[in-house]
Amino acid sequence: MPTTPYPFVSGEVLLASDLNAIQNLPLNDKTDSYTLEVADAYKRVVMNKATATTLTVNDSIFTAGDVIQVLNKGAGTMTITAGAGVTINTAGSLAVAQYGGGTLVALSASVFNFFSPSGSSYGVATGGSSTSITVGGVNYTLLDFTSDGTLTVTKSGLFDVLLLSGGGGGGGGINTGGFGGGGAGSFTEATIYLTANATVDVGAGGTGSTGGNLASPQNGFSSSIGAQANGIIGVGGGSGAHYSSGQDIKANVGGSGGGGGGAVSTTGASPASTGFGYSGGNGGVGGSLAGGGGGGSSANGSNNSGATGGAGGAGTSLSTFTGGTITTTVGLGGAGGSVVGGAGTSGGANTGTGGGGGGGTGTTAGGAGGSGRVFVRFKV
């Protein structure tokens, strides 16, 4: 490879070969973290290490208009780091995975823009149960977590994540009427950038009401992945309305969560946060009336109809995210308890379904909510 004569020297005579050689900038290969020097404006800096490195940009080393080209050759993530007094702006990420790269442009001695023409690419990870899938003609690896675990990141990059949180427990109590169904766990999709291993928490379902003056039903528990700085967290389903002796039954509207719990009053509970689920249905007041259905991940729970409990809200199919490999519908609201219903039905494991409300003469228990599930996929 010819050696470029750039930077030019005053009075020097340049040949055509010299001008052509400007495109062939020398490679400055580094096998460890490195701080840029003024001469790097005339080279391509290549980071080449199997573990993570930093490429530091210090103040007053470069002048406005200087261009520094960088490439990450090694398996470890290269993170472009601003030294004291330096600002580096980018529309993408300063964490560059293997074979990624871009251009640093000095806007002044202390302000830089980093341009990455290829953008951020998908990473690689292991954990859970692994399956090869195709979505929209694109091949992915799908990792399925049905219990707590660790996402082991072997290559930094983007990951598509689906979080299903635990469903809320169904209501119960002492009454001749029915009680509210539990709300579904939230169904949350996002794409996140990870550079290190991430903890995966699969939310448990909330316990159902045991009736009488015993424990109230629980909201479902959240599913999450990674630290909050670069991870995401879902919302567990709201519990169904219940009744204990001596309480005012009209006040029992159920808990707010991914899907709001069904009511034993005039108004069902709404989700705790907009966008995480749908409201529970309305229930009746009195021993001859039934409870409302819990909110689902894609529709409100239904109101009671006299002595018949309201249906739980509709859920969401996993088919779109998994490319049809897994077609289960999850995130259903729990059914409201009917006047003659008995104990509420529990939600299935890893479905995020709300527990059904109990109903009937005497003490009746609510069903437990179903536990959640976490999926991670990346392009291959």
Q: What is the pLDDT of residues 121-178, one digit of tens each?
A: 788 999 999 999 998 878 899 999 999 999 999 988 889 999 999 998 888 877 667 7
Q: How far apart are CA 129 and CA 249, in angstroms?
A: 45
**71-123 pLDDT, tens digit each:** 998 888 888 999 999 999 986 678 787 888 889 999 999 999 998 765 567 88
Residue, of 172 and 200, whose pLDDT is higher: 200
Q: How far apart are CA 111 and CA 105, in angstroms?
A: 9
Which of 2.60.120, 2.40.230, 3.40.50, 3.40.1130 would CATH assign to domain 16-115? Answer: 2.60.120
Residue, of 251 and 99, whose pLDDT is higher: 99
Confidence class for position 265, pLDDT limits 50, 70, 90: low
Q: How far apart are CA 144 and CA 158, in angstroms?
A: 17
CB 331 within 8 A of CB 164: yes
- For the chain, give the mean pLDDT: 82
- pLDDT for position 1: 39
Tell me the domain boundaries of the chain: 16-115, 122-380
Confidence class for position 229, pLDDT limits 50, 70, 90: low
Which DSSP category does 104 fall into? E
What is the CB neighbour count within 10 angstroms for residue 373? 29
Contacts of 171 (CB under 8 A, 6+ apart): 179, 180, 181, 182, 208, 209, 217, 239, 240, 241, 242, 243, 252, 254, 261, 262, 264, 291, 337, 344, 357, 358, 366
Asked if residue 220 has pLDDT above 70, the reply is: yes
**17-55 pLDDT, tens digit each:** 666 655 567 788 899 999 999 988 877 899 999 888 999
Strands 363-364 and 173-174 turn out to be: antiparallel
Where do runs of H (alpha helix) occur along the chain? 16-20, 319-322
CB crowding 221-239: b at 16 or more within 10 Å, else e = bbbbbbeeeebbbbbbbbb
DSSP for 321-367 reads HHTTS---EE-PPPPPPPTT-BSPPPPPTTS-PPPPPPBSSSEEPPP
Q: How far apart are CA 258 and CA 278, in angstroms?
A: 7
SS3 166: coil
Cross-strand partners of 363:
174
SS3 172: coil
Residue, of 119 and 335, whose pLDDT is higher: 335
DSSP for 238-296 reads PPPP-B-TTS-GGG-----SSSPPP-SSSSPPPPSSTTS--PPPP---STT-PPPPPP-
